[in-house]
Structure 1
Amino acid sequence: MKIKVLTLNCWGVPVPFVCKNRKERFLAIGTEVGKSSYDIVAFQEVWHKGDFEILKRNIGDTLPYSHYFYSGSIGSGLCLFSKHPILETLYHRFDPNGYCHKIQHGDWFGGKGLGLAKIDVSGTIVHLYITHIHAEYNRERDEYRAHRICQAFSSSQFIKYTSNGAHVSFLCGDLNFEPVDLGYKMICCNGTLKDAWLEKQSTQSEDKEGNTSDCPSNSYSGNNKRDKYPHGKRIDYILYKAGEGISVEIEDCSLTLGRVPGKPFSYSDHEAVEATITVDKKEQKENKQEDQDLSALLQESVSIVDSGLQSTRTNSRFFIAFSVLCLALAYFISVIHIPYPLDYFVTFFKLLLILSMGFGISQFLIMIRSEVHGLEAGRLDMKNLLQNLK
């Protein structure tokens, strides 16, 4: 049996002037996918419900089954379309997941996680996992590194313990990790997943490295990104694992959906990845990763999370000092005499100080505590697994 899969980060941020040509691009994506021969399509960054409806209207005749994974205050951005019946769905939400006060990044508001859909492909049970891990933003100084490692480990654990009942499992999405990164290695090793791009028998891509982001051919790659990533980088994947008694071969894995025909722009700021997979129900011996490889990855991951916990303590002290300073300033300007009409401005400033103090207290008592618990949970899970490998 052959199964054809597509994954694409659609870049659907619903902010005018930030996300260019969004409506036109979603219409073009829906039109192109709607006339394709895919069995399963996984999309990321479909943040606006109206964009999901555009995709449904144009894809629904070809891929009649669909599901959107709702999460957070703006939705997870994850959805899928299938030619075959979707039997069950489940969403595993990540914790920790960035900072709410980093509004310019916005990952926290999406409630990011890992979606699972159980699909019946003519008697073959497929588990489709779809995710969009927290973005890196700054490779040289990644303030979210501990969060992202926890998300990678959590994903690998979730897949490991929920994929047993499937004939074949796929993990599709924008992992925001390059193949050399610890997070990618953790997902592949602990989740016992293989990379379709590396295992392919053939490809129709001109880019033989399979780079999907910041590509020079993409209309949305600015000159600064071309200077930093002259050839782009590979962060979008189709990973897979075979169930017991199943043989899986990757006939082809290629990049697709580059420029929109007749338009001066691309379908997205990412390239899409498609794969044609052959699934046979016959015994095949798998070469499992050595425990010592996973042990080394876990040890490095625990070290990174420990550093992240140290940062939370620094942040906690900062917000305590910030709140005390706001309170002291508010008290000081309350007891001194301010002549008219400056007293109106002082009243406004005092209100601003009180609100700032409330923000600092909420960060200390709620947000940082939540971050610490999320990091601690991931750290303990890693250490438990590491202990059993020794």
Structure 2
Amino acid sequence: MEELPTELNIVTLNCWGLKFISKLRNERLAEIGRQLAIADPSPHIVCLQECFTQEDYKAIRRETRFILPYGKFYFSGPFGGGLAILSKWPIEESTLFRYPLNGRPTAFWRGDWYVGKGVACAKIRYGPAAKQVIEVFCTHTHSPYEAGQPDDSYLAQRLAQSWEISKLLRGAAERGHLVLGCGDFNMIPMSLEHQLVTANTPVRDVWRVLHPDSSLGPADHPAEKARRRPIPTAGFNIEENGAASDGPYCTWRWTKEQQKLLGPGKPPVTVPPDTIDRRGKRLDYIFAGSGDIASLNGGWVVKAARVGMMMRHPELGCSLSDHFAVEATLAFHPLSSSSAQSSSKAPPNGNKPAPADESLILKAPPKIRQPGQDDASTIPDTDDKYVQDGTYLQSPTPSSIRDNSSFDAQLLSFLTADHLQLPTSAYDFILQEIHKYRLREEKQKKWRGWHFFGSLAVLVGCLVGVWWSPANYVAFVLVLVSSLSFVAGTVDGLMSLLFFRSELGALREFEWEVVNAKLSAGGGVPTADGEGEERGW
């Protein structure tokens, strides 16, 4: 029988595989498969997002079939959910959970509703024991089109989706299984959406386990600016902040003029690691639990986390996706006697990030170029003054170096249930967002309903006009206008009757759960209908 694994290598990647929209899709996704097949360390579980077509999924499967012989492509929505899971071990069970709040069909130019966003769930057994099971949850939540704006109409959707996946993760953890939540969560670290996942579930953001002082967003985000940290470089954002999205290393974020430097037969173009990076941020995550520590006499801890899949296409010269991968290595760590004893004595004290170390401000690393490459083939840095002033960070020691004492501390944090607790104000904020979003959707529902009845009146009026029309061309115009008006009104009527009613119902369900959670967090007793006396609106 195959030996039990002592380490697990996990990869999550948004492939940017939108059919008819994503550029060079077939070539890029095929190369993604080839790079996964030769990756070192070899991945055991891979979660893919925006892999929308079976053609692309099968292309990746052909390349990875020897190291990842098992896989599942998930179907959802009219255009597919874009989710897939690959595994070294058999997938025993699989399901797709669609988010109750899932985008709007009225925003057809954005498409979130049409792809049926949800959570791809897979149960994978890596050993014969009852608790030697991995439950993998792969997701791609609603895109933050209006993030940071005062009236972000999609914030309630992202909050609801974080809430839903946290329930799935918690259920798997309560079954004593190793929990992995992977994907493009479209949220920044320590945002309320992020805290909902880590507060409601005994899981850790693997990057923050090893990099507790990493950034809270791009350099110009209010949360990051409030820390008053220096502007990061591209290299630092990759190594320490885990910024797998929107950074200067990704060629799909370059200007059109810069992208013209790429292509078959053209010399490689590199980006110096000391390039100032204001936009790079972390949207892709791996959340991991520990497994049943008591049953397994040990648990899974975070050994390493890194940004991967940064290589370019060997012929086209472009990045393989508009996101880089997030990779993690989990190691099984036996439960030591000292940890077991400490778990019964040490009180939980919250998951507090390590204090910032201002001594990490060092001088600039040298620019790196390919041998024989001249300055013309290097993407220019437009913020040289920040490099000259040394306003960026560099870690004095590799953050991936860990010893047994740090692994003991990780297990102890699980044993003492030492994780984030949401304050009451957070629940109040969520309820306010639900209230604002519900008012908006109720207005939409009413307006679209009246539109249907108005179009019906226009239809009747035009038909009467046809009866009295003096010429055929007038009758034709009246029939055309009435037909188009009635079709549009019927579409709005169906949305009012079906979509908006179901969405408002999902909002009420979400509200019920948040109110109950708020009462429980405040030491109160949830009421039968889920509404407490503190509900002021």
Aligned to 1:117: 122
Matched, 1:330 2:459: yes
Contact persistence 1:150–1:305 (CA under 8 A)? no
The 2-side partners of 1:223 and 1:193 are apart by 39
1:249-260 alignment runs, 5 A limit? 249-258=301-310, 259-260=312-313
> Amino acid of the residue matched to residue 283 of structure 2?
I
Q: Which 10-residue stretch deviates more, 148-157 or 99-108?
A: 99-108
1:76 positional shift? 1.8
Write the distance in 1 (CA, Å) between the matches of 2:47 and 2:445.
39
Q: What is the one-letter code of the residue matched to 1:304?
A: E
Deviation per residue, 1:110-146 (Å, 9 max, x gap): 2221222122224532221111111111212422221
Letter of the structure 2 residue corresponding to residue 264 of structure 1 = G
**Structure 1 residue identity aligned to 2:248:** P
How many angstroms does 1:101 deviate by? 2.6
How far is 1:100 from its partner?
Answer: 1.6
Amino acid in the other structure paired with 1:309: R
Is 1:23 aligned to residue 71 of structure 2? no
CA 1:264–1:233 in structure 2 vs 1: closer, same or farther (change >3 Å)? same
- Matched position secondary structure for 2:133: strand
2:56 corresponds in structure 1 to 51
Rounded to whole Å, the distance in 1 between the matches of 2:245 and 2:450 is 40
Given that 2:173 and 2:202 are in contact with CA atoms closer than 8 Å, whether structure 1 keeps it comes out as: no
Aligned CA distance change for structure 1 residues 300 and 164 (closer, same or farther; 3 Å): same
Is 1:231 matched up with 2:255? no
CA distance in 2, matches of 1:279, 1:301: 37
Q: Which residue of 2 aligns with 1:135?
A: 143
Distance 1:218 1:77 in 2: 21
1:185 counterpart (175, 195, 209): 195
Matched, 1:365 2:507: no
Contact 2:307 2:324 in 1 (8 A): yes
Structure 2 residue 342 is matched with structure 1 residue 310: no
In the alignment, residue 105 of structure 2 is paired with which amino acid? C
Cα deviations by residue, 1:192-249 (Å, 9 ceiling, x for unpaired)? 321111112799x75221112222221111559x9xx833221100111112324333
Task: Give the share of equivalent positions with the same residue, in percent.
Answer: 25
Moved more, 19-28 or 137-146: 137-146
Distance 1:363 1:71 in 2: 20
Please report the TM-score for the alignment, with normalisation by the length of structure 2.
Answer: 0.67
**2:412 aligns to what?**
285
Partner of residue 320 from structure 1, selected from 449, 457, 461: 449
User: Measured at CA, do residues 326 and 201 of structure 1 come closer, stay the same or move farther in structure 2, by a change above 3 Å?
Assistant: closer
1:240 pairs with 2:248:
no
Q: Is the 8 A contact 1:201 1:251 kept in 2?
A: no
Q: Which has the larger radius of gyration?
A: 2
Contact map agreement 1:34 1:62 (CA 8 A) in 2 = yes
- 2:209 paired residue number: 199
Question: d(CA) in 1 for partners of 2:176 and 2:91?
Answer: 13
Q: What are the within-5 Å matches in structure 2 for residues 58-69 of structure 1?
A: 58-69=63-74
- Contact 2:54–2:73 at 8 Å: present in 1 too? no
1:8 offset after TM fit, Å?
0.1
- Could you say which residue in structure 2 is the equivalent of 1:88? 93
Q: What SS does the corresponding residue of 1:158 show, helix, strand or coil?
A: helix
Deviation, 1:90, is 2.7
Greater share of strand: 1
1:220 aligns with 2:252: yes
Deviations 1:83-118 (A, max 9, x none): 122222232221021112322111112222122212
Given the alignment of the two structures, is residue 273 of structure 1 paired with residue 326 of structure 2, yes or no?
A: yes
Counterparts of 1:220 and 1:44, CA distance in 2: 17
**Match of 1:321, as an amino acid?**
W
What stretches of structure 2 of length at least 5 have no aligned partner? 1-5, 215-234, 259-276, 341-410, 524-537
2:156–2:437 contact (8 Å) kept in structure 1: yes
Q: 1:335 to 1:132 in 2, by over 3 A?
A: same
Mapped to 2, the partners of 1:292 and 1:269 lie a distance apart of: 34
User: Does structure 1 retain, via aligned residues, the 8 Å contact 2:199–2:420?
Assistant: no
Distance 1:298 1:122 in 2: 40
- What's the TM-score, normalizing by structure 1? 0.91
Instruction: For residue 302 of structure 1, report the CA deviation from its aligned partner.
Output: 2.0
1:366: how far off?
0.7
Q: Which runs of 4+ in 1 moved over 6 A?
A: none
RMSD across aligned positions (CA): 2.5
Alignment partner, residue 341 of structure 1: 473
CA deviation profile, 1:266-315 (whole Å, cap 9, x unmatched): 11111111111112242532253578525443332222112211111111
Determine the structure 2 residue equivalent to 1:388: 520
Equivalent positions of 1:96-107 (< 5 A) are: 96-107=101-112
Q: For residues 386 and 257 of structure 1, do their structure 2 counterparts lie closer, same or farther at Cα, with a shift above 3 Å needed?
A: same
Q: Of 76, 80, 89, which aligns to 2:81?
A: 76
Secondary structure of the 1:96 match is: coil
C-alpha separation between the residues in 2 aligned to 1:353 and 1:30?
49
Q: Is the 8 A contact 1:316 1:368 kept in 2?
A: yes
Which amino acid in 1 is paired with 2:437? Answer: G
Q: Deviations over 1:173-199 (max 9, x none)?
A: 000111142111111111232111111
Instruction: Between the two structures, name the one with larger relative contact order (CA 8 Å, sep ≥ 6).
Output: 1
Q: Structure 2: how far apart are the matches of 1:114 and 1:342?
A: 54
Once residues 53 and 246 of structure 2 are traced to their aligned partners in structure 1, the CA distance between those partners, rounded to angstroms, is 23
SS in 1 for 2:119: strand
Matched to 2:503, the amino acid is: E
Question: Structure 2 counterpart of 1:303, which letter?
Answer: Q
CA distance in 2, matches of 1:338, 1:64: 73
Deviation at 1:31, TM superposition (A): 0.7
Residue aligned with 2:430, SS: helix
Give deviations 1:45-100, integer Å, cap 9, x for gaps. 11111111111111111110111222222222111111122222232221021112
1:327 to partner: Cα distance: 2.8
Which residue matches 2:487? 355
1:151 is the counterpart of 2:161: yes
Q: CA separation in 2, counterparts of 1:231 and 1:182? A: 20
